[in-house]
Chain A
Amino acid sequence: SAVISQKPSRDICQRGTSLTIQCQVDSQVTMMFWYRQQPGQSLTLIATANQGSEATYESGFVIDKFPISRPNLTFSTLTVSNMSPEDSSIYLCSVRNGHGGYTFGSGTRLTVV
């Protein structure tokens, strides 16, 4: 199975600023998925990132707020822009592994003050 290194593991940020979250995969993958998990809630898909094309965003998420980069098949970043306290969540990246399942990064716990 793929191994994902996600950074940072946590951060406390001032409102109005931006945070970029990185995910590095130890193998090449076509799609990377970015999820948000609000406090006490389930995971909600933000967007799907394909290498060489624009990310596909789910309803309620926009590129200006959550720009995504996918420069190669092993790396992606998600930026949370112009943050407000409502953005306080855990953000996780995920990829499909070779066994029909999915591997997740360890998550980034973001607190906006």
Chain B
Amino acid sequence: AQTVTQSQPEMSVQEAETVTLSCTYDTSENNYYLFWYKQPPSRQMILVIRQEAYKQQNATENRFSVNFQKAAKSFSLKISDSQLGDTAMYFCAFRENYGGSQGNLIFGKGTKLSVKP
């Protein structure tokens, strides 16, 4: 079974600085998708970034980028120029390639990020 591990329950960063959140996963599949979701206190799940496993190039979305290491099964999220609004729970999630699967997401336990002024 696929599993997703986030080893950092809590992290903090000063405003304007850079922080990296770790995520590892376990799968025997070759094709899959990885996601980072943000959940602020409003509890709305917001997609931050996603990565297709077949793409070697790391995904980037403005201040958010990932370091995808397929062989190591690692998928870390880097937040640059941290802002107070980045304070939230961050969940790493995995989904195997759709073909034949139910296509649901498997989540890590989350990392609570606090951005300090």
- Do the two chains belong together in a single complex? yes
Known contacts A100-B52, A101-B35, A107-B43; is A43 also within 8 Å of B91 by CB? yes
Taking CB atoms, residues of chain A closer than 8 Å to B110 are 41-42
The SS class assigned to the B binding surface is: loop
Residue on A nearest B4 in the bound complex, by CB? A42
**Which residues of A are found within 8 Å of B43, using beta-carbon distances?**
37, 90, 92, 106-107, 109
User: Once the chains are docked, how many angstroms separate the CA of A33 from the CA of B101?
Assistant: 13
In the assembled complex, A84 has its CB within 8 A of some CB on chain B: no
B105 touches A102 (CB 8 A): yes
A75 within 8 A of B: no
Give residues 20-43 of B contacting A (CB, 8 Å): 33, 35, 42-43
Decide: A92 near B45, CB < 8 A? Known: A31-B103, A48-B104, A102-B35.
yes
Given A42-B91, A106-B44, A107-B43, 20 extra CB contacts under 8 A = A31-B102, A33-B104, A33-B105, A41-B109, A41-B110, A42-B108, A43-B105, A43-B107, A44-B107, A45-B106, A56-B102, A90-B43, A94-B45, A94-B105, A100-B33, A100-B50, A101-B50, A102-B105, A107-B44, A107-B45
